[in-house]
């Protein structure tokens, strides 16, 4: 019997609010240490938390976008533990009465979504450690999945989709490098079909690469232990990016007893139906739904559609290009291949990109009308990316226009036939390879500007 991995993920996402969850301090990333703090988020005795309405709104939006049931009454609880970056001695979170439960992303079920505050950050310099409390009190949602994931690839796909949804809904900026989105992976293995094995929890994975590598390492580690007759101990582990390994952080015996209890400084969180309905109306079309629409309405492949919805600005750009070009297939090809390539090469995002959907649409129309050929179009596109000029202007400046008037091409073809009577004779007598020579003469006659397809067809027709 083979081994099967079982994985459940806890994703922490910073809510995109301007201010913290229980005070009015700013949440902006990168400020000088300890400049965005006040008595509430510094944990001074007697300071009282006041819940940020916007944070609740964003958490509800996340819950709606993942198909969760939102509970009209939830409870903030104190999660007690000591750590230098947690000045109050407890984190305000939700425990047995979370904001939302029971959603899904694809075939991964979501157990719960609750709100909580982030802790500060410890910064270690050799022998000395510093604490920056700017992050303390930043609003978070924790999104906990059921153990429905079976591999590192599935975990990656789940977090990718979750991150897309959070970014589309503007709940979270999705910036993993800045810690706006972090992931804990719970991993166990079992013989296929057996009941759940003992899990290890790997903390704080802040990139997709680390997530995959930590899970793969952990699966292999557990299988090796079990195959040599050992047992897995339930524990919390840390991933070391340098070695690609996970190692024990604390065992079950050392696990914290958080002594949760309802925070006496905060009333239960009550959200009424009307407000939830209002927030529901602000949830935009989600990436998956958008991709399905592209396949249905534009006849795109699943792969193309998926690539075009990876971010909301990209999908918006694509749709605007469909509009301006009147050619969905063409728009999909140009955006997927050329636009993404240039953005990648020049490390640009769409906001600063000179080739607007309107300009790209006009370029596609120039191709579709036969005014320029495929090779010229690439040249126009690269020029547009660099100069920001209009496509028509570039065609003019570079003399890239092509002749697609059949009458003009026919006229030129007649002249070529007249002037090359010998070759024409030989071609008609069966020397088929001379056709290429004659096409070459026709292209020369039109200074390379004849629409190649038309040139071929007309010449073939005139040669009989
Ligand atoms: P805790 O609060 O101690 O982290 P939870 O019950 O909230 O524990 O579970 C946390 C995560 O662990 C969830 O994502 C859940 O799906 C996952 N999980 C639970 N049991 C297992 C298991 N045996 N193997 C893998 N993941 C598991
Ligand atoms: Mg946990
Ligand atoms: Zn504060």
How many whole angstroms from 186 Cα to the centroid of ligand 1?
6
pTM of the model: 0.88
- What value does the mean pLDDT take over residues 188-202? 95
Task: Determine the CATH number of domain 406-463.
Answer: 1.10.10.410
Nearest to 360 by CA among 376, 381, 346, 378: 381
pLDDT of residue 196: 96
Cα of 9 from ligand 2 centre, angstroms:
9
Distance 6 CA to ligand 1 centre (A): 10
> Which ligand minimizes its atom distance to the CA of 19?
3
Which helix (H) or strand (E) segment holds residue 113: the answer is strand 108-117
Asked whether the predicted pLDDT for residue 427 surpasses 80, the reply is: yes
Cα–Cα distance for residue pair 433/120, rounded to 1 Å? 77
Cβ(308)–Cβ(332) below 8 Å:
yes
Residue with CA closest to ligand 1 atom 5? 144
Does position 257 have pLDDT exceeding 80, yes or no?
yes
Beta bridge partners of residue 251, listed in sequence order: 235
Q: How far is the CA of 137 from the centre of ligand 3 (A)?
A: 7
pLDDT category of residue 422 using cuts at 50, 70 and 90 = very high
pLDDT at 121: 95
57 within 8 A of 279, measured Cβ to Cβ: yes
Cα–Cα–Cα angle for 75, 11, 233, rounded to 5 degrees: 95
23 in Cβ contact with 38 (< 8 Å): yes
pLDDT at 1 over 80: no
Compute the distance from residue 117 Cα to the ligand 1 centre, in Å.
21
Sequence-distant (≥ 6) Cβ neighbours of residue 450 within 8 angstroms: 402, 403, 409, 412, 442, 443
> Counting atoms of ligand 1 from 1, which one is nearest the CA of 198?
23
> Which among 119, 150, 153 is positioned nearest to 133, based on CA atoms?
119
Collapse the DSSP code of 62 into the 3-class scheme (helix H, G, I; strand E, B; otherwise coil) and give the result. helix
360, with CB counted inside 10 A (0-12, 13-18, 19+), is: buried
Q: How many CA atoms lie within 13 A of 238 on its CB side?
A: 7
Do residues 118 and 14 make contact, with C-beta atoms less than 8 angstroms apart? Answer: yes
**Closest-CA residue to 284 (of 65, 67, 106):** 65
Band of pLDDT at residue 171, cut at 50, 70 and 90: very high
Distance between CA 205 and CA 185 in Å, rounded? 8
Answer yes or no: are the C-beta atoms of 354 and 383 closer than 8 Å. Answer: no
Report residue 130: phi and psi, to 5°: -115, 155
- 447 pLDDT above the threshold of 90: no
Listed residue (461, 377, 115, 136) closest to 271, CA to CA = 115
- pLDDT (mean) for 329-352: 93
Q: What is the mean pLDDT of residues 386-399?
A: 91
Q: Is the pLDDT of residue 432 over 80?
A: yes
pLDDT given for residue 242 in this prediction: 94
User: Ligand 1, residues 199, 211, 233, 234: which to mutate, most atoms within 8 A of Cβ?
Assistant: 199
Nearest ligand to the CA atom of 255:
1
Q: Which DSSP category does 150 fall into?
A: -
> Which residue's alpha carbon is at the smallest distance from atom 22 of ligand 1?
199
Which ligand sits nearest to residue 44's alpha carbon? 3
Between β-strands 200-205 and 128-132, what pairing exists: parallel, antiparallel or unpaired? unpaired
Q: Are residues 358 and 391 in contact, defined by beta-carbon separation less than 8 angstroms?
A: no
| Distance in Å from the first CA to the final CA of the chain | 71
Average pLDDT, the chain: 95
Percentage of the chain beyond pLDDT 90 is: 86
Report pLDDT for 254: 76
Which residues of the chain form CATH 1.10.10.410? 406-463
Dihedral sign for Cα atoms in the order 150, 155, 160, 161? positive
Q: Give me ligand 2 centre to Cα 237, in Å.
A: 11
Q: For position 399, what pLDDT does the model report?
A: 83
SS3 category, 380: helix
Q: Residue 411: its pLDDT value, please?
A: 92
Closest ligand to Cα 35? 3
Tell me how far apart the alpha carbons of residues 17 and 51 are, in angstroms, rounded to a whole number. Answer: 12
> Closest Cα to atom 15, ligand 1: which residue?
8
Model pLDDT for residues 274-323, shown as the tens digit of each residue = 999 999 999 999 999 999 999 999 999 999 999 999 999 999 999 999 99
Residues with CB under 6 A from ligand 1: 6-10, 144-147, 186-188, 196-197, 199, 201
């Amino acid at each position: 019997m083979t081994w099967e991995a079982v994985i459940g993920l806890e994703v922490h996402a910073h809510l995109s609010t301007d201010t913290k969850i229980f005070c009015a301090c700013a949440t902006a990333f990168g400020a000088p240490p300890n400049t965005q703090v006040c008595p509430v988020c510094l944990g001074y005795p007697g300071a009282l938390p006041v819940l940020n309405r916007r944070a609740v709104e964003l958490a509800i939006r996340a819950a709606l976008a993942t198909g969760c049931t939102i509970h009209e009454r939830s409870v903030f609880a104190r999660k007690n533990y000591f750590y230098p970056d947690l000045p109050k001695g407890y984190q305000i979170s939700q425990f047995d009465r979370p904001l939302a439960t029971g959603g899904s992303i694809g075939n991964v079920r979501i157990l719960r979504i609750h709100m909580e505050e982030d802790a500060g950050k410890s910064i270690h310099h050799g022998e000395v450690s510093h604490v920056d409390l700017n992050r303390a009190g930043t609003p978070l949602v924790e999104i906990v999945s059921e153990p429905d994931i079976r591999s590192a690839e599935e975990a990656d796909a789940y977090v990718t989709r979750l991150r897309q949804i959070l970014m589309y809904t503007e709940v979270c900026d999705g910036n993993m490098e800045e810690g706006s989105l972090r992931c804990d992976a719970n991993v166990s293995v079992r013989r296929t079909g057996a009941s759940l094995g003992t899990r290890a929890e790997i903390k704080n994975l802040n990139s997709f690469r680390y997530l995959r590598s930590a899970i793969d390492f952990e699966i292999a580690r557990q299988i090796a232990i079990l195959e040599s007759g050992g047992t897995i101990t339930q524990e919390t582990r840390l991933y070391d990016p340098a070695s690609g390994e996970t190692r024990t952080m604390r065992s079950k015996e050392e696990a914290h007893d958080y002594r949760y209890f309802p925070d006496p400084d905060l009333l239960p969180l009550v959200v009424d139906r009307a407000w939830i309905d209002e927030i529901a109306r602000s949830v935009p079309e989600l990436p998956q739904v958008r991709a399905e629409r592209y396949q249905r309405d534009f006849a795109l492949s699943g792969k193309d559609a998926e690539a075009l919805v990876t971010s909301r600005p990209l999908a918006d750009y694509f749709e605007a290009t469909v509009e301006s070009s009147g050619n969905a297939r063409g728009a999909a090809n140009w955006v997927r291949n050329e636009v993404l390539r240039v953005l990648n090469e020049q490390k640009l995002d769409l906001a600063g990109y000179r080739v607007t959907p309107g300009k790209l649409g006009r370029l596609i129309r120039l191709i579709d009308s036969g005014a320029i050929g495929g090779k010229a179009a690439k040249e126009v596109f690269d020029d547009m990316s660099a100069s920001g000029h209009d496509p028509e202007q570039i065609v003019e400046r570079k003399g890239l226009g092509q002749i697609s008037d059949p009458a003009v091409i026919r006229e030129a073809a007649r002249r070529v036939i007249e002037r090359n009577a010998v070759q024409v004779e030989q071609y008609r007598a069966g020397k088929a390879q001379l056709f290429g020579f004659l096409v070459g003469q026709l292209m020369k006659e039109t200074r390379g500007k004849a629409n190649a397809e038309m040139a071929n067809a007309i010449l073939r027709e005139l040669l009989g």
